[in-house]
Amino acid sequence: MKKFIILIGMLGIVLALAPLSIAQSVSQSAQELVDASVSTQKALMFTTTDRITVPLRFDHYYTYEQVGEALRALHEAYPELTSIDVVGKSEEGRDIWAMTVNNPETGPALNKPGVYVDGNIHGNEIQAAEVALAFLNRLLVSYGSNPQITELVDRNAYYVIPVVNVDGRYHFFHDANTPSSNRSIRIPKDDDNDGLFDEDGPDDLDGDGNICTMRRADPFGRYKTDPEEPRLMIPVKPDEIGEWTLLGDEGIDNDGDGRINEDAEGYVDGNRNWGYNWAPPYVQRGAGDFPFEALGMRTIAKFILDRPNIIVVYAFHNSGGMYLRGPGSESEGPMNPNDVNVYNFLGENAEKIVPGYRYLVLWKDLYTTYGDFTSFTYNLAGAYSFVGELFINETETYRSPEEIDLPMDRSQERLKFSDNVVQGELYKPWKTFDHPQYGDIEIGGWVKMSSRLPHPFMLNELVFRNSSAVMFAAAQTPKISMEVFLIEKMSDNLFKVRVRLVNANAIPSMTYKSVEKSLFPRDILSVSGEGITVVAGGRLLDPYLDQVSYKEYRPEMQMLQVPGNGKVEFQFLVSGRGDLTFDYASRKAGKLSETIELSE
C-alpha cells in the first residue's frame, strides 16, 4: 500500500501531467487508500488490544509495537535475569531489540555458553517472532519452579532478537499484503529500471486490508472454475475452453508504464545479505549490492561477534516444517563429519519434539543459498546453527477419520478448513471491481493472514514445541568439569600431576570447523604456582603405558578442545612446592579453576 501522504502530495502533479486514463486510476487509487486506512483494524484482526502482561499469551500475534511492549513486560517482571538492548536501527529508523537472559549470581554472561535465537528476518514471517517470545517467556516464567529450566538459565546465557526485519513486521501488520509479500529489507530498489524506486507495488483496491488476487472473465484464459468448488480455479486442458485469466495481485499501473506491481519495496533478502559466501544479484535474487548492505544485518553481525560465547544459533522462519542446517551451497564442500554428528543429534531430536518437521541439509534437500545467516554463524562465529521453518499447512484439515490417509486436493481442503474451522476468515469470496486498466474484474482469494502462518488457535502448540527444540539444544551446550586425578611424587622436588577435563553434554567446547580453520584460539588449560616450574606437559594418550604427547614450548599452557560427551587428559611434570593452580578458559564453554597443594 502506497504512503497516503506522499500520494496526496503528488496527486496534483500527476493529474496535470499524466494521460487521462492514468490520472483517473491514480485518483481512484487515492480514494481507495483512504478507504483502506479506515479498514486498518480488519488487517489486525488476529492481534490483541489488551494490555500485555506476563505470562505472555500466544493466542494472537504481536505487532511490532507490541513485541517491544512484551519485552518490556518481561524485563519488568524479571529485572534481575534480563536486560534489553537496542542492537541498532532499521532503514526506516525503527529499533531492533535484543533481550539477554542471564543469572548474574552464577557468573557473567560471557563466561557461559551462549544460545542465540532470532526470528522474522523476512517481513511476512511473523510467527517466527512469536517463537522467540515464547522461548523467553518459558525461560523466565518457569525459572525457579521447573528444575530443568532453572538449571538451563543458571548455566547458559541467552540472546534473543525476536524481530530482525522490524520495518517488514511493521508494514506487514499495518499495510495490505499477500501472505508472501513484504519480505524485503526496506532498501529502495529500482526493480523495473525506470529510474524510480518502489513506485509500483500492489494496491488494496477494495480497502479490506489484504492484497488478494485479480481475475478477469476470458474464454481464451488458461483457467476454468473448479467443478467441485466454484471459488477455486483449475488449469484448462488443451481441448477445453477457458473461463478466466489470472491478473496477479491486486494493483494498478501507478507509474503509467503499462505494467502492474512491477516495482514494490526492495528487493533485498535479509537472509542472502550476510558476509559469508555471498553472491551478487545476478547469481541469487535479493542478495543486495554488497554484503551487509542492510543496516540490521550489519548491526546484528556485530552483536553476535561481540558475544564470542555463542555456540548455538536458531533462526526461525515461517513455513514448511523443517529444521535446516548448512552448507548452503555444494561449493562450500562437505561439513566436518564430527560437526555433522552433533548436528544429527540435535536435528533428529528436533524431529521428535516437533512432529511432522524434517531435519534437512539446506543445499542438498531444499535449494542452494549464498550469503545466508546460518552459514555466517557456523563458519565465522563458530556456532551450531539451524533455520527453523515453521508451520505445516497440511495441518489445516477438514476430514472424516476414514479420509485421513487419502490424498486430497490441498486447496479444496484448506477452503473447507477456512469455512468450517475458522468460519471463513482465511478466504475472501470473489467480488466484482471496475479496474482502471482491466475494466470489469473480480477480486478474491486467500487473505494475508493465511497460507504461510497458522490461525491463532493453532499458534500455542507451534511456539511451545519449537521453543522446546531450542531448549533441548540449550541443555546440550558444553558442560565442562575439571578433576586433578593423580599427584605422584617422582623425586624430592619433582611431581607428576594429571588433570582431566570432562564434557557431560553432546556439544563440544568449540565446533570442529573452528578447530580445523583456526577461527579463534582453542581452549586453554594453564598451570601456575608461585615458586613452581612446569618442566614438561602435554596430552595424556595412554594412562596405563604412560604415553604422553609433550608440548615442546611453553608446557604450562595447553591448547585444546573438549569433545561432546568426552574427555581430554593432560600430564604435567612439575618442580617445586606449594599451591598449584589449573585454569581452564574457553570462549564457548566458560571458565574453571582448581588448586592443589604440592607437599611432602
Q: Delimit the domains of the chain by residue range.
A: 4-43+191-266+411-446, 64-172+271-391+458-471, 480-598
Residue pair 456/542 in contact (Cβ under 8 Å)? The answer is no
pLDDT tens by residue, 496-527: 999 999 999 999 999 999 999 999 999 999 99
Alpha helix (H) ranges present in 402-486? 410-420, 459-474
| CA 56 to chain centroid | 20
Query: Which grid coordinates belong to 330?
Result: 555444494
Q: Which segments of 319-402 does DSSP mark as H helices, in order?
A: 337-353, 373-379
| Max Cα-Cα span within the chain | 105
User: What are the grid coordinates assigned to 309, written together?
Assistant: 560465547
CA 424 to chain centre: 30
Cell, residue 234? 483449475
For 205, the 3-state DSSP assignment is coil
Q: What is the pLDDT along the chain (600 residues), one digit of tens a residue?
A: 333 333 333 333 333 333 333 333 333 444 444 344 444 445 567 888 889 999 999 999 999 999 999 999 999 999 999 999 999 999 999 999 999 999 999 999 999 999 999 999 999 999 999 999 999 999 999 999 999 999 999 999 999 999 999 999 999 999 999 999 999 999 999 989 999 999 999 999 999 999 999 999 999 999 999 999 999 999 999 999 999 999 999 999 999 999 999 999 989 999 999 999 999 999 999 999 999 999 999 999 999 999 999 999 999 999 999 999 999 999 999 999 999 999 999 999 999 999 999 999 999 999 999 999 999 999 999 999 999 999 999 999 999 888 888 888 899 999 999 999 999 999 999 999 999 999 999 999 999 999 999 999 999 999 999 999 999 999 999 999 999 999 999 998 999 999 999 999 999 999 999 999 999 999 999 999 999 999 999 999 999 999 999 999 999 999 999 999 999 999 999 999 999 999 999 999 999 999 999 987
Per DSSP, 263 falls in state B
Q: Which CATH superfamily is domain 480-598 in?
A: Immunoglobulins (2.60.40.10)
Rounded distance between C-alpha atoms, residue 400 and residue 403, angstroms? 5
pTM for this model (two decimals): 0.92
> Can you say whether the dihedral through the CA atoms of 336, 337, 341, 344 is positive or negative?
positive
- Taking the C-alpha atoms of residue 250 and residue 31, their distance in angstroms, rounded to an integer, is 15
Residues ≥6 apart with Cβ < 8 Å to 528? 556, 580, 581, 583
Q: Using CA atoms, how far apart are residues 120 and 101, in angstroms rounded to an integer?
A: 20
214-229 pLDDT, tens digit each: 999 999 999 999 999 9
Going from the C-alpha of 221 to that of each of 233, 234, 237, 439, 508, the distances in angstroms are 11, 11, 11, 16, 60
Query: Cα–Cα distance between 163 and 122 in angstroms, integer?
Result: 9
- For 64-172+271-391+458-471, the fitting CATH number among 3.40.50.2300, 3.30.460.10, 1.10.150.120, 3.40.630.10 is 3.40.630.10
